[in-house]
Amino acid sequence: MPEGLKFPSTWADRAKFLEKVVASGKSLGEEAAANPNDKVVAFSQRLFWILPHLMYEWIWVSAATTGDQVERGVLPEAVFEFREALGELDLGFERVMVGFVVAREEKDAELQDLSMQSVLTGLARIQRASHGVISTLINPSANPHSSKKGHWYPTAWAKTLFRMGRDSFMPPQEALETVNLQQSLSKLASLCLSTRAALSRLMEAPSTDETTLSEAERNAVRVKRYRERKRRRVAFTAQVEIYDDDLDLLRQFGFLTSSEKNNQEAVSSAVQSFLLHGFTSFSDLPPDLWRDRLSKQRGRVSGLLGAADGDE
């Protein structure tokens, strides 16, 4: 790591480091216009655009998890796992922030590539840590009438609450804080996922135009895609209408940039990430099913990032 780029541990010093990040990214718009084919500039510009969204959620999560009171909303057997995941969250942001500055300041191509890979690793770490914290939380919105395979199971729900104990019932304000924390972590993980997919596309070589392929080659591509969908247990591909206002909302939420609005692959990735956020933030399920819900989204993660990244 270059001298002077160690990520600080206090929020006061982190604010100063963030000023360095902002100063480093101010000229990105002009650089991108002058060098439209520069991979490092395009990578940095896309990352710089999403950083305010990520920082907002990170600061909120950090503030909400300060002190011992928040552990009232954690499953009793998962307190250590909860604290460990919060530590991983900070380490992930350290990689992202430092990687961004190194990519901007270093001129050596190899160091730039290493810093971009470090950013992707940091985003993956944030994603895993966010889902890790979610999996430790008690769900105060648990609904005793939720169904599983067509059957109600209030008995299983009651057993879960009895197992956690009377002290696990939270006052309304604390319950709301736990739900808000889960929502913020879910968004943070989904934003990291969509950003990883977008940055990975920028680092890869341009995809081959399928219209230039022979019939046999096009068939081979279709078979490969079919096998990938089967491996991820895709039930079927549904047609979804995307409206102009949807694109604007996806941009406001941080899943899509203005320049990506006409890129079908980018829009598809943004919608998939938004679905991931929806499936992992809907709170009306018994507390012990949150972990199960995260595992049911592995196929979607794998589809966005490829088997190697998705199965991390």
Query: Could you read off the pLDDT of 133-184 as tens digits, one per residue?
Result: 888 887 665 544 444 444 334 444 455 555 544 444 555 566 667 778 888 9
Note the pLDDT of residue 231.
Answer: 63
Whether 65 has a pLDDT exceeding 80, the answer reads yes
User: What was the pLDDT predicted at 140?
Assistant: 61
Lookup: tokens for 140: 């105060």
pLDDT of residue 292: 73
Question: Which carries the bigger pLDDT value, residue 4 or residue 35?
Answer: 35
Report pLDDT for 240.
Answer: 81
CB of 216 closer than 8 Å to CB of 171: no
Quick one: DSSP state of residue 8? P
Residues in the chain: 312
Given a cut of 50, is residue 273 above it in pLDDT? Answer: yes
Confidence of residue 308 (pLDDT cuts 50, 70, 90): very low
Among 2-11, 16-25, 150-159, 172-181, which range has the highest average pLDDT?
A: 16-25
Instruction: Please tell me the distance from the alpha carbon of residue 53 to that of residue 36, in angstroms, as a whole number.
Output: 24
Burial string for 215-249 (b: 16+ CB within 10 Å, else e) reads: eeeeeeeeeeeeeeeeeeeeeeeeeeeeeeebbee
Q: Please, which pLDDT band fits residue 85 given cuts at 50, 70 and 90?
A: very high
Q: Each residue of 104-126: pLDDT tens digit?
A: 888 888 889 999 999 999 999 99
Residue 152 is given by DSSP the state: E
Closest CA to 135 of 273, 280, 276, 275: 280
The answer to whether the predicted template modeling score (pTM) of the entire model surpasses 0.85 is: no
Please check the confidence at residue 293 and state whether its pLDDT lies above 50: yes
What mean pLDDT comes out for the span 223-245? 72
